[in-house]
A and B are shown apart, each in its own frame.
Chain A
Amino acid sequence: MDRADIKKALKDPHKWGEKYSLWVTYFCTGCGIIEIPPVITSRWDAERFGVIPMATPRQANLFLITGYVSVKTLGYIVTTYDQMPDPKYAVAFGSCPIDGGLYYTSYNTINHLDRYIPIDGWIAGCMPRPEAIFIAVTKLWKMIDGEMVDGYKRYKENIDYYRKNQERVLGKKFIESIPSSLPVTVET
């Protein structure tokens, strides 16, 4: 860090802290998770970028969904996303969460993940290379600088839309099982 950066960091220390400590919940839904071990270990070493895997969603702020999302895992994705503290960023990895990909016609794989939780960035490809994760992380930095990452705000604003879509796929029982103490509807 040179002097100019110190000034920038002191101007907005909150944003600076956000940017360089992306703690990730890896959601190992599909084949994409196979790209994660080389990313977090010595070959590509994601910790250079401040990206480290986190054991619990309650301490993480980046949600990386790797691979196709089946209806059953969608329930857990929604639960996990609801648990993460603000500000939180969700990035979908691979082409399956974007439009269903290879599993477009499958009866138990959802086609568009952004209808159920807000997605801040997409990494296209089948499979994307590990480098793509770093490109995504550096893009995310720029977006945090420009205050363009507003997924968690959009989620709160359009909670009815998201809950409606979740209910359509996961059923009424799932929506009723969400604890009301979750802070998704509280605007601070």
Chain B
Amino acid sequence: MREEAIKQDIEQRYEACLVTVPREKRIGISLPKDSLFSLIAFIKDEGFRHLSLITCVDWIEEDEFELVYHLASYEDGIHAIVKTRIDRADPVYLSIIPLFEHAQTYEREIHEMFGVDFTGNDRLTPFLLTNWEEIPPMRKDFDTKEYSERMFEHE
């Protein structure tokens, strides 16, 4: 199976990396933040040339942000989900623009919605929100009901 071959390949190269194959055509990889850039560069050469999405998850109780990179391979039809965790108090991470240019827009959105800074991305300007002065809205400690009532229920 191609998934298992890729899994063994990754496990040999990256020791602190947890690779799972939850089902056919699917690989989940979680790893510490230092080796993520080189892992993405590695699996890009393995055929994962399509970056479909970058998302972020706010794990407020563990005080961490989880960055999730979705990559897909055209040759094997495999979907790889690469996860890493960064510190919530100091959310700075490396931009992957050198590998995938279109990551700029995803990183820009995560910067606006979660407040994560990406070093190497020079276009972290206001994007979707209008007239925003609060903390980023997708963070778990942002009280959206309180904001809605304060902003739209005034008088």
Contact = CB atoms under 8 A, between A and B. Distances in A.
B8 interface: no
Given A72-B130, A170-B130, A107 B154 contact: no
Interface size class of B (residues with CB under 8 A): 10 to 19
Contacts of B155: 115
Contact of A112 (B131, B142, B152): B152
A176 to B, nearest CB: 13
B145 interface: yes
Contacts of A71: 129-131
A171 B128 CA distance: 14
Contacts of A110: 152
Given A108-B137, A111-B153, A171 B131 contact: yes
A106 interface: yes
A108 B129 contact: yes
A168 B152 CA distance: 9
Interface residues of A, number: 20
Contacts of A75: 130
Residue from B130, B131, B148, B152 whose CB has the most chain A CB atoms within 10 Å? B152
Interface string A108-122: 111110010000000
A33 interface: no
A110 B153 CA distance: 9
A115 B154 CA distance: 10
Given A72-B130, A108-B129, A169 B148 contact: no
B37 interface: no
B144 interface: yes
Interface of B: 128-131, 137, 142, 144-145, 147-148, 151-155
Considering the complex of A and B, which 5 residue pairs feature the smallest CB-CB distances, nearest first?
Answer: A171-B131, A111-B152, A105-B145, A107-B144, A71-B130
Interface of A: 71-72, 75, 100, 104-112, 115, 168-171, 173-174
28 contacts: A71-B130, A71-B131, A72-B128, A72-B130, A100-B148, A100-B152, A105-B144, A105-B145, A105-B148, A106-B144, A107-B142, A107-B148, A109-B148, A110-B152, A111-B152, A112-B152, A112-B153, A115-B155, A168-B154, A169-B130, A169-B131, A169-B151, A170-B130, A170-B131, A171-B130, A171-B131, A173-B131, A174-B131
